[in-house]
Amino acid sequence: MSHVLILGPASAGNLLVTHAKEAGHHVTVALAPSQEQRPNLAEHLADDVLSVNPLDHEALAAAVDRLHQQRPVDAVVPGFEYSVPSAAILAARLGLPGLPVDAANKLRHKHLMRDALDRAGIRSARHRVVHTDRPDWRSVVETAVGDLPLPCVVKPVDLGGSVMVRLAHTMEEAVLAVGDIANAGPDAYGLTPRPLALIEEFITGPEFSVEGYIAPDGPSIVSITRKLLGDEPYFVERGHVVELLQDTTLGASIRTYTANVIKALGLTTGVFHGEVRITAQGPVLMEMGARLPGDHICELIELALGVDLAAVFVDALLGRETPAYRPDPASARAAGIRFLLRPGLAGYSTVTGFDEAQALDGHVDSALAYAPGQPVPSAADFSGRLGWFIFTATDALALEAALDKADQMVEFA
C-alpha cells in the first residue's frame, strides 16, 4: 500500500482523493485550518488530515518531515493549482517523482510563464508586468498600456478561476483593474494575490483547452476541449465540450504548439491543462497548468473518452508510467457541461424548468449553486454561476442542442 500525500485538494483535486482510495493507497490530505472549517469532501474520504497550510512552505516542510518519519510518503500530489510549487519542493526534498521546482514556478505564475515562452521564441501574448506595491504603479500602467494595443487584458499573476481577469478598453479601465488587484484581500482559498499585475495583448479567436499527460515518449494529448465563454469584459466559461480528437489541421497545429510550450516550461511529469486561442497565425497560449482541469472537465473526459486523468496523475507521481493515449472511436461519445449564467441577477426567489431539464435525454448530472433567497455574486468570475448541467450524446451536434435546451428551460425569478 503506497502512501499518497495530496496538498490542499479542492475542486477537481477531490477526484485525486477518490481515485487514490479506490486504488488502495493510504491517503493523507494537507489542509489549511481555514479549509478544515468548510465542508470538505477530501477530508471525509482521506485516511489522515495534516493540518497545515500547503502554501506555507516552511511549516509544510516541517509537518511533512514528521509525517514521513511516521509513515514514509511515496507521492506528493498537488490538489489544486496553488499547490503545484509546494508539491515540487516537497518531492525534491523527499527524493520523489515530481516537477523541477523552477518549472513548477513557471507553470504557477503567469508572468514567469510568458517570459519563458518569449525566451524560447514561442508565440505568446505581448505583456508587461506592474508592481502594484510601488508608489508609481499608475504611471507604469500608463506606459504599459501605451506599449500594447487597446483593448488589453489585466490579470493577477497567481489567482485562478478567472478571478479579477478583466478586458480593459481604455487607459482608465486598465488603471481601475490594476487597482483592484493592488487592493485585493484573500480569495476563496485564503490566498492574497502577489503585488503584481499582468497587462497582456488581447488575443481574439475561438478558445480551446488542452488536457493530457506526460507519457514515456513525451506529451500525450487526450482532449482538445471546446470552450464557450461568457460576455466580455469578463472571461468566465459558460461551458465545455469534449469529443474524440479529429485528425484535422487545427488539431495538428494545437498538438505541435502545445508540445513546444510544454518543453519550454519544463513540464516533465504528470498531467497538464492548457488554454489556447486560435488566431490567423496559429494557437496562442492563454495559460498552462501542471494540474487537473477544473469545471468538471475530468468527468467529461472520462464520460466521452474513457480516460481517468486523476488516476494518471497519481500514478505518475508514484513513478508509474502510462502509455500514450490511443483513441477508441468505437466507444467515444461527446460530453459537455453548461453553466447557468444570468448576468445582473443578484438573487432569486423561485426557479422553474430545472427539474424538467434534468429529465432530458442524455442528462448525467446537475446542481444549483445557490438556494432561493441566497445572494448571487456578480457574473465576473466562476462564483457567479448559478448552477450547471452535464449531458452526453452520440455526437457534439446533439450534445450542444441538449445543453442549449436545458439552459433555455431554466428561469430564475
Could you report the per-residue pLDDT of 181-215, keeping only the tens digit for each? 999 888 777 788 889 999 999 999 999 999 999 99
| Shared domain check, 188 and 216 | no
Residue burial 244-255, b: 16+ Cβ < 10 Å; e: rest: bbeeeeeeeebb
How far apart are alpha carbons 96 and 370 in whole angstroms? Answer: 41
In a shared domain, residues 136 and 89: no
pLDDT of 290 reads 97
Which of 180, 201, 222 lies at the terminal end of a domain, its last residue?
201
Write down which residue in 282, 302, 332 finishes a domain: 332
Q: Measured between alpha carbons, how far is 52 from 35 in angstroms, rounded to an integer?
A: 10
Domain-located, residue 152? yes
Give how many domains the chain has, as a whole number. Answer: 4
Residue 118 domain flag:
no
The predicted model gives 272-282 an average pLDDT of 96
Q: Distance (Å, rounded) from C-alpha 396 to C-alpha 244?
A: 10
> Is 85 part of any domain?
yes
270 and 159 assigned to the same domain: no
Question: CA separation (Å) from 148 to 5, 174, 204, 216?
Answer: 43, 12, 14, 40
User: Cα dist. 258→100, 124, 375 in Å?
Assistant: 19, 12, 40
Helices 84-94 and 101-108 pack at an angle, to 10 degrees, of 170
The CATH number covering residue 253 comes to: 3.30.470.20
Quote the CA–CA distance of 290 and 13 in Å, as a whole number: 12
* Mean pLDDT to the nearest integer, 221-248: 89
Burial annotation 264-285 (CB, 10 A radius, 16+ → b, else e): bbbbebbbbbbbbbbeeeebbb
> Do 208 and 187 fall within a single domain?
no
Q: Is the pLDDT of residue 289 over 90?
A: yes
Largest pairwise CA distance in the chain: 61
Q: In this predicted structure, which of 28-37, 232-241, 244-253, 300-309 has the lowest mean pLDDT?
A: 28-37
Are 145 and 136 within 8 A, CB to CB? Answer: no
Cell of 317: 507521481
The domain containing residue 159 runs over which residues?
A: 126-201
Cα–Cα distance for residue pair 194/305, rounded to 1 Å: 38
- Identity (one letter) of the amino acid at 81? E
Domain membership of residue 121 (yes or no) is no
Q: What pLDDT, on a 0 to 100 scale, did the predictor assign at position 403?
A: 98
Domain match, 173 and 228 both: no
Q: Domain holding 14: CATH number?
A: 3.40.50.20
Q: What does the pLDDT look like over 349-373, one tens digit per residue?
A: 999 999 999 999 999 999 999 999 9
Phi, psi of 72 (to 5 degrees): -50, 135
One-character DSSP codes across 265-315: HT--SSEEEEEEEEETTEEEEEEEESS--STTHHHHHHHHH---HHHHHHH
Query: If pLDDT is split at 50, 70 and 90, which confidence band does 393 have?
Result: very high
In a domain, 78, yes or no: yes
Cell of 115: 517570459
| Interval 101-131: pLDDT, tens | 999 999 999 999 999 999 999 999 999 999 9
Split at pLDDT 50, 70, 90, the class of 233 is confident
Whether pLDDT at 39 is above 70: no
| Helical pair 110-120 and 101-108, crossing angle rounded to 10 deg | 110
Nearest to 137 by CA among 169, 174, 163: 174
Is 90 exceeded by the pLDDT of residue 45? no
Specify whether 225 is located in the same domain as 303: yes
- Residue 216's Cβ-side half-sphere holds a number of Cα atoms within 13 Å equal to 5
| Judgement on whether residues 180 and 230 belong to the same structural domain of the protein | no
Q: Is residue 115 part of a domain?
A: no
| Residues 60, 35 share a domain | yes
Mean pLDDT, residues 386-407 taken together: 97
For residues 265 and 369, membership in a common domain is answered with: no
Q: Are residues 210 and 192 in the same domain?
A: no
User: What amino acid occupies position 123?
Assistant: R
Distance (Å, rounded) from C-alpha 223 to C-alpha 211? 5
Looking at 53-57, 274-278, 317-321, which range is the least confident one?
A: 53-57
Average model confidence (pLDDT) across the chain: 93
Residue 103 belongs to some domain of the structure: no
Residue ending a domain, choose from 170, 201, 232:
201
Flag whether pLDDT at 72 surpasses 90: yes
Rounded distance, CA 293 to CA 240, Å? 11
- The helix/strand/coil state of 171 is helix
Instruction: Please give the pLDDT value at position 235.
Output: 79
Q: How many CB atoms lie within 10 A of CB 44?
A: 10
In a domain, 51, yes or no: yes
- Kindly report, residue by residue over 153-183, the tens digit of the pLDDT: 999 999 887 788 999 999 999 999 999 999 9
CA distance 101 to 92: 8
Checking if the pLDDT of 247 tops 90, the result is no
Residue 277 has pLDDT above 90, yes or no: yes
SS3 for 188? coil
Instruction: Say whether pLDDT at 246 is over 80.
Output: no
Centre a 10 Å sphere on the Cβ of residue 8 and count the other Cβ atoms it contains. Answer: 26
Claim to verify: residue 158 and residue 185 sit in the same structural domain: yes
> The whole model's pTM is what?
0.93
pLDDT value for 42? 66
In this prediction, residue 252 has a pLDDT band, given cuts at 50, 70 and 90, of very high
pLDDT band at residue 245 using 50, 70 and 90 as cut-offs: confident
273 touches 291 (CB < 8 A): yes
Are the beta carbons of 35 and 187 closer than 8 angstroms? no
> Does 316 lie in the same domain as 216?
yes
